[in-house]
Amino acid sequence: MDTAALEAVARSVRTLTMDAVEAAKSGHPGMPLGMAELGALLYGEVLNHNPRDPQWENRDRFVLSAGHGSMFLYSLLHLAGYDLSLDDIKAFRQLDSKTPGHPEYGHTPGVETTTGPLGQGFANAVGMAVAEEMLAARFNTPHHRVVDHYTYVIAGDGCLMEGISSEASSLAGHLGLGKLVVFYDSNNISIEGSTDLAFTEDVAARYRAYGWQVLSSDAYDIEGIRAALAEAREDSTRPALIILDSVIGKGSPGKAGSADAHGAPFGDQEIAATKEAIGVDPQELFYVDPRAREFFARRGDELARTQEEWEKTFQDWATANPGLHAQWKEMLQGGYRELLKDIALPRYTPGDTLATRQASGAALKAVAAVLPNLVGGSADLAPSNNTALPDHGDFTRDTPAGRTVHFGVRELAMAAIANGMALHGGLRPFVATFMVFSDYLRPAARLSALMKAPVTYVLTHDSIFVGEDGPTHQPIEHVEALRTIPGMVVLRPADAEETGEAWLMAMEQDGPTALALTRQGLPVFPKADPAWRESLRRGAYLVQEPAGEGLPEVVVVATGSEVSLALNAAELSGRAVRVVSMISRERFEAQDEAFRRALLPQGVPVVAAEAGVTSGWASITGSRDRVLGLDRFGLSGPAAQVASAMGFTAEALADLIKSV
């Protein structure tokens, strides 16, 4: 990329950014102005991508972790030739525009992940680099490399302050992710002022301790950046952090280098002064340098040819490796769905007793044996979560084809890394921890739902029946909190049979699923609905119907471990009780009225039981007074004693049944 073209692109990024933010009367101009030269270099020379085919499997991934600087990305996508017009730029931050305030995955061509919550994009990029390593080990042969690309990131001071980046960086260094390159926009400015107010650590020393390459350059020394990049790519055993000393709001006479440049429009006067300083007519709005247009027209043709060359290599590889090609179709082109029917789940009979976490482990192994794209692991709890895949090896720097990832005690980064793995394509990741620690990973789980990333959350030890570990480890509000995330499918299976089906439901889902699983053993019970597996997918089904004809006196709706509790309580109550297992309240409530009324007849009182907060259940029972739940923290002691002390027993539920 020649100097004149680079300067033209950087100039255009600055003008488009200032005018778009000013038109919107909101936005963050400082980062795009400060990193404009790097953006020109990335999209003009470094990235291997094709704007005419944004989903090309072997493209380099670029993640703007500092997502508040979204106009940086939008400007470059527009200039590079993605389907993002100048009118789209002019509609920045407007309703229904393709240029929302922060980049959104699936909304704007060329945006690889939703960023904005600082540090999460960084961790997503680690997941993308993990996915590249896994898929390269699976598909590349001595004669053909069909998976061979880099993941690039721009992270700011705020990203590196967030704990999630520390978690993700530590794991990335341990795994030796040599195709991950992070540019650190080190401008020493945060919203409150200089970063010296709160951030004075030696970042370079920290990353060396993580096992990263640490390189540096002035952000405006293009040859220095090129040299750093070349050095980074020569080392295939370590991720690279390239520290760029930059100036926020670069080019602005009155705001460059100050906190004022970060998050507010410059105003007409300062924009005019900045345009004059960079050689643009102040009267020009949304100016694009013609040399930038000319350059990217040529560059677009070059990149299209690069993909064409890869496709020739791919066809040669496919011909030579039909088995691998079939697996490619399964993993990267959605063919795994055709394999779901081949999964042989473990069989159980009424009276068998085991914890749903154990049943989950058995189901996971059955699913993994058939679906080659299922990968994942636990936050150092695999023996308790039952999530190891011993038949498929561990993913390490020496064994990248392994399918079990050891995330360490890093719940938040684990979930965000899984998001990146899912978004990369080719993989269906799962992650696992105790239910109570879903609080630690919730911000990433929320983004799973926002992006419809198909991540399965295996959350065990789901209630006070954790017992002796006490209230710090006994979830109370957590299942309900997960239900409040739009698009998160929360499944709380009631026995081993339901648990196996829950895993299939998770694999069928285009989006995230949370499995709430027990520590304690639960009995497998008979099911009155002969088509219960189909009904389960609609959220609920009939477990037990009272003898005789006509309507029941009471319907008891329960989830998870409380279904067997409800069966005991129904017998103790002496009333004609129908028992319904509701694996997913949200799915049930989304069904048509006929289905819902068939299970919960009009005029028949409904009681609910769940070992958690009662909020949310009034939509089923009509009143929280008809819910056996727990609106207080637990106690430390053996599980049965804790339940008795807290009044959470079959006898208590029977009394509630008799009272309605």
Helix ranges, 69-178 (H) = 70-80, 86-90, 120-139, 157-161, 163-175
Question: Is 381 annotated among the ligand-binding residues?
Answer: no
Rounded to whole angstroms, what are the CA distances from 547 to 550, 570, 576? 9, 12, 7
- Residue 473 is assigned to a ligand binding site: yes
157 is in an annotated binding site: yes
How many angstroms separate the CA atoms of 645 and 551, rounded? 35
Give, as one character, the DSSP assignment of residue 460.
E
Residue 357 counted as an annotated binding residue: yes
Q: How many CA atoms within 13 Å lie on the side-chain side of 358? A: 13
Cβ contact 13:6 at 8 Å: no
Contact 463, 470 (CB under 8 A): no
Residue 117 assigned ligand-binding role: yes
Q: Are 490 and 548 in contact (CB under 8 A)?
A: no
CB burial of 19-42 (b: ≥16 within 10 Å; e: otherwise) equals: bbbbbbeebbbbbbbbbbbbbbbb
Judge whether 519 is annotated as a binding position.
yes
Angstrom distances, CA of residue 23 to CA of 51, 94, 379: 26, 10, 45
Other C-beta atoms lying within 10 Å of the C-beta of residue 377: 27
Backbone CA torsion sign across 588, 589, 595, 596? positive
Of 104, 411, 480, 610, the active-site residue reads: 411
Q: How far is CA 81 from CA 29, 57, 562, in A?
A: 22, 18, 56
Q: Flag whether 187 is marked binding.
A: yes
Q: Check if 411 is active-site.
A: yes
**Which CA distances in Å does 658 have to 553, 599, 621, 652?**
10, 20, 15, 10
Q: Is 469 annotated as belonging to a binding site?
A: yes
Task: Find where tokens 């699936």 sit.
Answer: 106
- What whole-number distance in Å separates Cα of residue 543 and Cα of residue 556? 10
SS3 state of residue 505? helix
189 marked ligand binding residue: yes
Q: Give the whole-angstrom CA distance, residue 243 versus residue 232.
A: 12
Distances (CA, A) of 89 to 10, 99, 101, 297: 16, 7, 11, 19
- In this structure, which long-range contacts are made by residues 330-337, counting pairs with CB atoms below 8 Å and at least 24 apart in sequence? 330/371, 330/372, 330/373, 331/135, 331/138, 331/372, 331/373, 331/426, 331/427, 332/57, 332/135, 332/425, 332/426, 336/371, 336/372, 336/373, 336/428, 336/507, 337/508
Cα–Cα distance measured from residue 310 to residue 303, given in angstroms and rounded to the nearest whole number:
11
CA 87 to CA 291: how far, in whole Å? 20
Residues with Cβ < 8 Å from 361, sequence gap 6 or more?
A: 385, 386, 387, 388
Q: Please, what sign has the CA dihedral across residues 499, 501, 505, 506? A: positive
Q: Are 117 and 412 in contact (CB under 8 A)?
A: no
Residue 447, CA distances (Å) to 423, 425, 485, 614 in order: 11, 17, 10, 26
Residue 174 labelled as part of a binding site: no
Residues with Cβ < 8 Å from 562, sequence gap 6 or more? 494, 609, 610, 611, 628
**Nearest Cα residue to 261 out of 243, 246, 278, 242:** 246
Antiparallel, parallel or unpaired: β 513-516 and 489-491: parallel
* Rg for the chain, CA atoms, rounded: 28
Ramachandran category for residue 108: left, alpha or beta (phi over 0 → left; psi -120 to 50 → alpha): beta
Rounded to the nearest 10 degrees, how much is the dihedral formed by the CA atoms of 484, 488, 489, 495?
Answer: -80
Annotated binding site for Mg(2+): 157, 187, 189
The annotated binding site for substrate is made up of 28, 262, 357, 384, 461, 469, 473, 519
- What residues are annotated to the active site? 411
Q: Which residue positions form the known binding site for thiamine diphosphate?
A: 68, 116-118, 158, 187, 262, 437
Binding residue numbers: 28, 68, 116-118, 157-158, 187, 189, 262, 357, 384, 437, 461, 469, 473, 519
